[in-house]
Chains A and B, each alone.
Chain A
């Protein structure tokens, strides 16, 4: 198991960090980002010896946290932010994928065992097969994102006067997402739909999984639908037919919907 590597950046706009160098100063960086005390961060880290603990980042503030990327380049990050903002739109009053920190969730997933397809059978020979035979691409999820985003941005530059996906209007962005889903865009190595399916699946995961994975920040997704979180006991409530459940959402890490615990 590796530890998540954070890239330090002197400015607040960590989304724009362009370096791929790992940080040697995680604690200082986290402290800088979130303004939390060193003591509190160290406690959080110590309580989770084999896992990476990320500190709570201003849980009282709405909107996405400022945190570093582990997988995406800055160009890829701009694509992901633009795309998930269309897949699950949001604003201050009704959080969507951006407010729920979905890009950060996807970034961490792609840097981890999921992105590497650790559980998948990856031996050849390779053939495309039938729809019923399932996923037969050589690309891991991480490779799928890397290639697809480059291809889609290339496609956009050709179609829209040199503009990448993130620079298009919302209507144009929506149209392209539909075209990917309908396989109307040609990517170099695999059908656009294969990428769209994975992107949309991961976006939903980031919106609806436990906040400890970095998405669903402040329980944005769970509050939207009315899921009160994983709870131990509904013995008294199961027969209270038609009555709303009274308690606010809780995650595996508790009531603070910004606490994280991620294995990479």
Chain B
């Protein structure tokens, strides 16, 4: 029997980036806000202290900060004809668990999507004709535009102290930065990080080929920085332990380093850890949420009443909760109808490793220290002759040189033995990897639903993922890989490995934690779970925020857009919903 707790105004499921932003915004309205986090409590001190956090084995190899499949996982298959099996250990993606969420262990690669990304279907149809889009692609417009979201991107960048060079500020074109970027209201808060040896080599090679390389935007502070909330961040020290680690130096933006020092002091905010939310509770009408049900670490069940429920967990978990709670009609791939679980997408990546004669010192780096080109992203080039849609950036990142997982060897090198040892000695300091970061089109056969066999620890059906990249995306990725290869060649390496993304998608090798869709936004309730303000169509006092809102994935890391969407939803709640609770969009 569940214990019913004292009601609050707002309950947030999860306590990562989106929950922290929304909590900070809604507590400003005087609301009583509570965040429920499944993982443990984490603070910069003591959890990320530099005396112990730079431990590759514990954090990067043994997954110290991530979701543990023993408590929560999903089942997976490539196609509907297969039987899905549980992901027994993490591989392809590594969702965070604990206060700060994946915002603790990300690299800090903070991009804005391009204006065309938000109107992908209408833009593509307009430029290339409706027939250009394969029939089974379910790509769609977002229901918002880049211009709608621009002020929110700006706020997220200033919250995080993003280091970068702007090329397009209020209509003024500048020499440095990304010439393809959308119009920005102002510059980045900080100048770019210092360049690594690899960045300079990539820059030179890309320029020789006529491309437009720039310093990639980084939520790693190039200078000491005080953000608009008054939180002080330290200058990044290029220690090379960003991704998979917390930052002990307050240099990588995370909820802990940008918001929590202010939020946690507020009397009208509280949070609880070790709380697995298992249902959004609806009233008899099914159109209003009463609150949420959760279990604590001892398995005790609690009912937390709340006026407003906001799902801020990782993409998979948000969709799982919607399916278990009966919010939105589940997607049916046979008929192509229903919305919850529809349009799952991911990121298609590949790499080109280069082996050079110069000393690269790869261990000096930062998670978002990189040089990139955007010449082949979204619709920055003519797709007509190529026969696919989408694109991605190509970059050389100098994220670090952790020895177990970040060494590169030429393909001729023996896998083990004396030859392996020799090759390690010759190549570790003299190699780098160029990566391609491709968009993924949502399609009819890529979706999330409930598994008929496997159960989670509470006996609920596990979430099931059915996914492979569409042929369109393999084609696009091969195109990007070819461009990356040409840049690699221009770096005049002594050896080079071209690592294409080969079908079918595998859940085993790590690729990215950029899982998107399943609760997508849009302006049509037949093809979206939430409206343009991230409010569910069916239950107006439930909002869902995160990468699960992306109708398809763009050729960029998602966090910049996820942060912007959190500000966007918070604004809608503050300015519209609180004044007049109810549907913000009427059809």
Interface centre among B52, B361, B416, B428 (most CB of A within 10 A): B416
CB of A96 within 8 Å of the partner chain: yes
Interchain CB contact under 8 A, B57 and A213: yes
Among B52, B89, B235, B364, the residue within 8 A (CB) of A134 is B89
A227 and B70 in contact (CB under 8 A), knowing A134-B89, A205-B61, A209-B56?
no
**B429: A residues at CB distance < 8 A:** 225-226
Interface SS, B side: loop
* Given the contacts A89-B417, A121-B86, A221 and B403 also touching, CB distance less than 8 Å: yes
Answer yes or no: A88 CB below 8 A from chain B CBs.
yes
Say whether A210 faces chain B, with CB atoms less than 8 Å apart: yes
Q: Is the CB of B417 within 8 A of A86?
A: yes
Pick the residue among B85, B195, B407 that contacts A225 (CB under 8 A): B407
> Shortest CB–CB separation between residue A33 and chain B, in angstroms?
24
Q: In the assembly, what is the distance between CA of A227 and CA of B415, in Å? A: 20
- Contact between chains at A232 and B50 (CB < 8 Å): yes
- The yes or no answer to B584 lying at the interface (CB within 8 A) is no
The CB with the most chain B CB atoms within 10 A, among A123, A200, A222, A244, is that of: A123
* Residue A242 is within 8 A (CB to CB) of chain B in the complex: yes
Bound-complex Cα distance A232 to B238 (A):
8
Closest Cβ of chain B: how far from A34's Cβ, in Å? 24
- A123 with B425: CB separation less than 8 A: no
- The answer on a CB contact under 8 Å between B455 and A123 is yes
Q: How far is the CB of A127 from chain B (nearest CB, A)?
A: 6
Report the minimal beta-carbon distance from A128 to chain B, rounded to whole angstroms. Answer: 9
Report chain B residues within 8 Å CB of A227.
363, 401, 403, 428
Report the interface size class on chain A: 35 or more
Interface 0/1 of A140-183, CB less than 8 Å to B: 00000000000000000000000000000000001001000100
* A-side contacts of B85, CB under 8 Å: 127, 129, 133-134, 136
* Interface status of B359 (Cβ within 8 A of chain A): yes
What distance in Å separates the Cβ of A239 from its nearest Cβ neighbour in chain B?
5
Q: List residues 186-219 of chain A with CB under 8 A from any CB of chain B.
A: 200, 203-205, 208-210, 213
A86 nearest CB neighbor, chain B only: B417
Question: Which residues of chain B are within 8 angstroms of A129 by Cβ–Cβ distance?
Answer: 83, 85
Interface presence of A92 (CB below 8 A): no
The interface residues of chain A lying within 8 Å CB-to-CB of B421 are 88-90, 94, 96, 224
Instruction: Evaluate contact between B76 and A133: CB separation under 8 angstroms.
Output: yes
**In the complex, A21 has a CB within 8 A of chain B:** no
A120 to B407, CA, bound (A): 26
CB < 8 Å neighbour of B415 from A94, A113, A181: A181
Query: Chain A's interface: helix, strand, loop or mixed, by majority?
Result: loop
Nearest A-chain residue to B198, judged by Cβ = A241
Instruction: Find out whether the CB atom of B68 lies under 8 angstroms from the CB atom of A200.
Output: no
Residue of A nearest to B418 (CB): A89
Which residue of chain A has the shortest Cβ distance to B425 in the bound complex?
A: A224
- Which of A122, A134, A205, A231 is the one whose CB lies under 8 Å from B239? A231
Residues A89-141 near B (CB distance < 8 A):
89-90, 94, 96, 113-114, 117-123, 125, 127, 129-136
Q: Is the CB of B359 within 8 A of A130?
A: no
Report the separation of the CA atoms of residues A208 and B404 in the bound assembly, to the nearest whole angstrom. Answer: 6
Tell me, yes or no, whether B380 is within 8 Å of chain A by CB. no
* Min distance, Cβ B197 to any Cβ of chain A, angstroms: 5
> C-beta contact mask, B445-464 vs A, less than 8 Å → 1, else 0?
00000000111000000000
Q: Which residue of A lies closest to B64 (CB)?
A: A119
Residues of B within 8 A of A (CB): 50-52, 54-57, 61-63, 68-70, 73, 76-78, 82-89, 91, 194-197, 200, 235, 237-241, 249, 358-359, 361, 363-364, 401, 403-404, 407, 415-418, 420-421, 424-425, 428-429, 453-455, 504-508
Given A117-B89, A230-B241, 6 more A-B residue pairs with CB atoms under 8 Å apart are A134-B88, A225-B407, A232-B237, A233-B238, A234-B364, A235-B194
Which residues of A line the B interface, CB within 8 A?
Answer: 86-90, 94, 96, 113-114, 117-123, 125, 127, 129-136, 174, 177, 181, 200, 203-205, 208-210, 213, 221-222, 224-228, 230-235, 237-239, 241-245, 252
